[in-house]
Amino acid sequence: MLIKLASKKLEFKLGGTTLSVDINDAIELKKEIEDIKKIASIVEHDLSDIIPETVVVKSDLASIFSTDGRLLFFNDRIPNQRNEKVMLAIYGYGVKGATVRQIEATTGVTNVRNNVINSGNNKHYFRRLGKNRFVLSKDGEDEVRERILPKLR
C-alpha cells in the first residue's frame, strides 16, 4: 500500500486502485484512516477472489516455480504425490496462502478440497483462511521444509 499526502488530500494505492480522502484536521485524519483500514480489510478478505494479486516467486523457490504474476507454475521439479504438490504450491504462494483456483491451476489437481485438503491424513497440514483460501499449518510448513523441498533440491 502506497500512501501519498497532498495538500489536504490523502491518497492510498491498493493494487491498481487509488483511494482518496480529503482531510481538514488530525481528528478527521484519524477517523478516515480507521475507515480506510476497514475498507482494506474488506478488499483483502472478502474480495480476494475477484481482485487479482501479484504473485512473486521467493528467491529460495526460483528453481521450483516460475510465475506470470497471477499464478505459480512448477518448473522441472514436480513432486509425484498429489498432497505434496498441493502443499508445495500453497507454500510457494506464501503467508497469504492460495485460493482453490490458484492451487488447482498450479498443481493440476482437480477438486483439491475433497481430494487433498479435506482428505483423512492430510487435514492437519492445512488451515482455512477465508472462504476459498488455504494456508499450511505448522505441521504442513514443517513437512514442506523438512521432507518435500530437500527431495527436489
Secondary structure of 7-74 in HEC code, one letter for each residue: CCEEEEEECCEEEEEECCCHHHHHHHHHHHHHHHHHHHHHCCCCCCCCCCCCHHHCCCEEECCCCEEE
Q: Are the beta carbons of 10 and 20 closer than 8 angstroms?
A: yes
Lowest-pLDDT choice from 9-13, 48-52, 121-125, 135-139: 48-52
pLDDT for residue 147 is more than 90: yes
Q: Do residues 114 and 32 make contact, with C-beta atoms less than 8 angstroms apart?
A: no
Q: What is the pLDDT of residue 41?
A: 72
pLDDT at 18 > cutoff 60: yes
Counting DSSP H helices and E strands in the chain, the numbers are: 6, 8
Q: What is the pLDDT of residues 76-97, one digit of tens each?
A: 889 999 999 999 999 999 988 9
Assess whether pLDDT exceeds 80 at residue 72. yes
Q: What would the mean pLDDT of 119-134 be, rounded to a whole number? A: 90
Is residue 3 predicted with pLDDT exceeding 60?
Answer: no
Integer Rg of the chain from CA = 19
Q: Rounded to whole angstroms, what are the CA distances from 130 to 83, 98, 121, 127?
A: 21, 10, 22, 10
Q: Note the residue count of the chain.
A: 153
Angle at 98 between CA 58 and CA 47, to 5 degrees: 120
For the residues 47-56, what does the mean pLDDT come to?
A: 69
The pTM assigned to this predicted structure is 0.67
